[in-house]
Structure 1
Amino acid sequence: MAVAHSCSCCLQVVLLWAALWPALSLWTVALAATAVPAKLKAAPAPVVAGPVSRVEDARMFQIYYGRSFKVIKNSGDGKSYLLMQNTSKMAAKTKYCTGRIKSFVIPLANFSVDTTASPVSFFERAEWIKYLGTFTNSEDRANAVYDAIKRNYLCLSKAAANLSTRFKPIVAWIEYTQGMWTFVKESYALQYVTDAGAEIVDATITNKRFNSSDSEDMDNFHAILCTVDVVIDQTYALEPAEYKLSTFLENINVSHDSCFSFVSNRSIWRFDKRIGASGTLDWYDGAISQPQLVLGDLIEVFFPTGNYTTIYFRNLAKEEGVTEIGPEMCTRSMSAPMEPITLPCQ
């Protein structure tokens, strides 16, 4: 009987609860609506004052925008930067500076960036103009420059793809270091070759090193080069102007009258054509910021027309020398921003 009484009580409670539930539900919702403080309710998304940059291709930094501030997160060094607009109350009252975050009141009049490593792809490299633009509120300008560069690059790449339907040259991008020849494996260099309508030498053999003092090694190396139409030699030279065709042929142990296609067709190239006053290669400066010019060079290298003068690449086989660049070559005013160079493309 005790069990039956207990079950009866349980049933009464359940029925009572079911009867009261609609009213309780309405009361609970009303109570919740009045109990939540106004400051806890969802606030509308902040309206960002000023220009905005969206990161499209770069993977090593991100930009976050608030109403009167920006935060840049640099994945390369793990640091973040809080940029506060000089018109905001936040800028007057707040100063953050820790080991991982620094704050600046923007726009800055001038600043410098110290880089020890560069992103992998050329679009990633070029898009860092957006990173720099945030410090001076120049996002609109940075967006316009990057869009022009990317649009021109993609157009040139499409044009190169049409050229390669007839013939796709085989390219060896190689380097000579401490008596060893190797094939360059940097992904950005290989992508340049592909986008310019050519084909890199078989990737399955590029992991090997070839000792110039070992005859068997060099035989194997030469056997690979027999399949190559174009050679790009990125061997380091302390004095680039002194690195000539004879230097390359001696290092690779090949004669001037060799039957290699790249020798007979005179297609042996280096990217050290433009040299600054301090001896630095413009390849590591201008070429990084304007990859469309590199692509234009390589299209001419692979599909020569004779109507285009390369900017960064010089032809060793034709004894082409280097070009020394200096401030006197700059025709624009120092106060005028540099415009990206876009190559003709349809």
Structure 2
Amino acid sequence: MKLVALATLVAAFGSSVLAASGGSTQGLQSTECVAAGDASKNLYATKSEVKYAKLFTIEYHDSYKVVNDLAANGTYVLYQCGSERPSVKNADAYIPIPVKSVAAWSTSAAAFIEALGVQDHVQNLGTSPSITSACLQELLAEVIKPFDEGNSTSVDVQEQNNTVVFNMPGGEDANATNTAFSSEYLETSALGRSEWIKFFGAFFNAEERANKLFDEISSNYECFTHKANSEFNKLRPVVAWTSYAAPSSFNNNTAYWQISVAGYKYDLVRDAGARMLNTTSRTQSTMFSSAAAFLDALEDVDIVIDESFVSYTYSELLKNYGISGSNKAKYPWAAAGRVFRPDRIQSTAGGLDWFESPVVFADALLQDVIGVAHPKFAKSAYSPIWFRNLSKDEPVAVVTASNCTDMYAARKDPAATCSSIDFQSANPTDSAYSGVDVSQTQDLIYDISKSEIISGAAALRAAVVATLGGAGAALAALYVL
């Protein structure tokens, strides 16, 4: 695999969309603790309204908020510091706000915190080698302490020394009294995942920042959707999200192949002016016990996005998928070399930004999927942010702390401004997708009822957790979607 230094992508990790930095109160409200006599006043004039996300809610009261993670069945009471702690039925944690010391186990939580520009409050981070943010890497080198993941006693102390610990369900120390679980990875829409910026913003009284950033993301996303579906209303290549798991002790030494049909991927593919390979499975992923059954489902696919939990070459992928020179022409995506992996941006340790920035910035993610589905969508040259063409051995960009210009600046949305892009329709006669039925705009449905299917995704989740340890629970959850 070729490696290159970060060039044009540096700006995506060091600039500030809000000009907020450590210590700045711009875009924050009720930044000071209150006296007991002031607690009855309405302290939260700016509120966040949840529009797209289905898995969290925020209820506002005069001096406290009730935040619910509906997927984790968690209720978190956020009360203004200095005020009397309210009593809320079935509360899982009472957390004084604005939070002053924060820990996060998942890389996506860290990305949301940095997007808000409040990383100056972070004391501890988990899975730190996987973090790709240049400025969080610099903070880890100078200020933030990684969790001592090899010592559970030490971890307990680190957690209790924070006002709040952000985690994903199934992660470390689920019994901590200051833990707030977040389930952004379970949202069924791309914008729903991004809207969790409001969930995190509530803990910092950063509703103004969260609302402003999400409004910009959603507006840009909708512009991309409108343009893509206007320009590509006929030419809609079929996209499949796939992965391969090699035989190991974690899966009874039995390989399996997977097609993901997660809801947010449907959104992205359709909104990009393409079609999704669908299966009749009611789960978010369909797992095949043989390469033959798996390949049968991919026979009419134009583009493959491989999310295998390995890093390998194109020839290795073809071998793992069961494709040789004799049958390669049977599969449009293999014959044309349209195989992509979302691993372009990595940390030195091989951590993928795929589990950080795209969760926050749905507009940038949609822009990238448009670039995969319609490579010549813009009249000017377009370089993908996260996807690289594996068949062309495109390089990865390794991010290091040296790429950071201001470690307390808010993480910038890497998306281009949609309104500034001059879209152009691809002519079917000139297109690489010569085998596409240009009259068909619906998803390609593959009937799995007679295929060799493995029920459930527990084996994959167990394999990732066993490989990475408890801190890998968040990654495992993402990989089975």
Q: TM-score scaled to structure 1, two decimals?
A: 0.75
| Distance in structure 2 (CA, Å) of the matches to 1:92 and 1:54 | 24
| Distance in structure 2 (CA, Å) of the matches to 1:182 and 1:104 | 40
Q: CA deviation at 1:119?
A: 2.4
Tell me which residue corresponds to 1:247.
316
| Larger Cα-atom Rg | 1
| Distance in structure 2 (CA, Å) of the matches to 1:182 and 1:307 | 33
2:222 match: secondary structure: helix
1:231 maps to which of 304, 310, 328: 304
Tell me which residue corresponds to 2:347.
276
| Distance in structure 2 (CA, Å) of the matches to 1:94 and 1:232 | 49
* Matching of residue 187 in structure 1 with residue 263 in structure 2: yes
State whether residues 122 and 291 of structure 1, in contact with CA within 8 Å, keep that contact through their aligned partners in structure 2.
Answer: yes
Structure 1 segment 236-315 matched on structure 2, within 5 A: 236-237=309-310, 240=311, 243-255=312-324, 258-259=328-329, 260-305=331-376, 307-315=381-389
State whether residues 273 and 312 of structure 1, in contact with CA within 8 Å, keep that contact through their aligned partners in structure 2.
Answer: yes
Tell me which residue corresponds to 2:214.
146
Deviations 1:33-63 (A, max 9, x none): xxxxxxxxxxxxx855432111112222211
Tell me which residue corresponds to 1:157.
225
Q: CA deviation at 1:323?
A: 2.0
Stretches of structure 2 lacking an aligned partner (at least 5 in a row) = 1-40, 104-165, 170-182, 248-254, 420-481
| Distance in structure 1 (CA, Å) of the matches to 2:323 and 2:344 | 23
Structure 1 segment 1-346 matched on structure 2, within 5 A: 47=42, 49-86=44-81, 91-94=82-85, 100-112=91-103, 113-116=166-169, 117=183, 118-120=185-187, 121-177=189-245, 178=247, 179-204=255-280, 207=286, 209-212=288-291, 218=292, 221-237=294-310, 240=311, 243-255=312-324, 258-259=328-329, 260-305=331-376, 307-331=381-405, 333-346=406-419
Stretches of structure 1 lacking an aligned partner (at least 5 in a row) = 1-45, 213-217
Deviations 1:128-172 (A, max 9, x none): 111111121110000001111111111111111123223110122
Q: CA deviation at 1:224?
A: 4.0
AA partner of residue 140 (structure 1): E
- How many positions carry a matched residue from both structures? 287
AA partner of residue 253 (structure 1): G
1:201 match: secondary structure: strand
| Distance in structure 2 (CA, Å) of the matches to 1:106 and 1:64 | 15
Deviations 1:90-142 (A, max 9, x none): x3444769973432332222323112342222222211111111121110000
1:202–1:345: structure 2 CA closer, same or farther, 3 Å change rule? Answer: same
State whether residues 79 and 85 of structure 2, in contact with CA within 8 Å, keep that contact through their aligned partners in structure 1.
Answer: no
Tell me which residue corresponds to 2:479.
none
State whether residues 73 and 81 of structure 1, in contact with CA within 8 Å, keep that contact through their aligned partners in structure 2.
Answer: yes
Percent of counterpart pairs with the same letter?
Answer: 29
1:187–1:97: structure 2 CA closer, same or farther, 3 Å change rule? Answer: closer
Q: TM-score scaled to structure 2, two decimals?
A: 0.55
Name the structure with the higher helix share.
1
| Greater RCO (CA < 8 Å, at least 6 residues apart) | 2
- Cα RMSD of the aligned pairs, angstroms, is 2.7
| Distance in structure 2 (CA, Å) of the matches to 1:149 and 1:232 | 24
AA partner of residue 115 (structure 1): M
AA partner of residue 186 (structure 1): A
| Distance in structure 1 (CA, Å) of the matches to 2:278 and 2:97 | 50
1:50 match: secondary structure: coil
| Distance in structure 1 (CA, Å) of the matches to 2:257 and 2:42 | 57
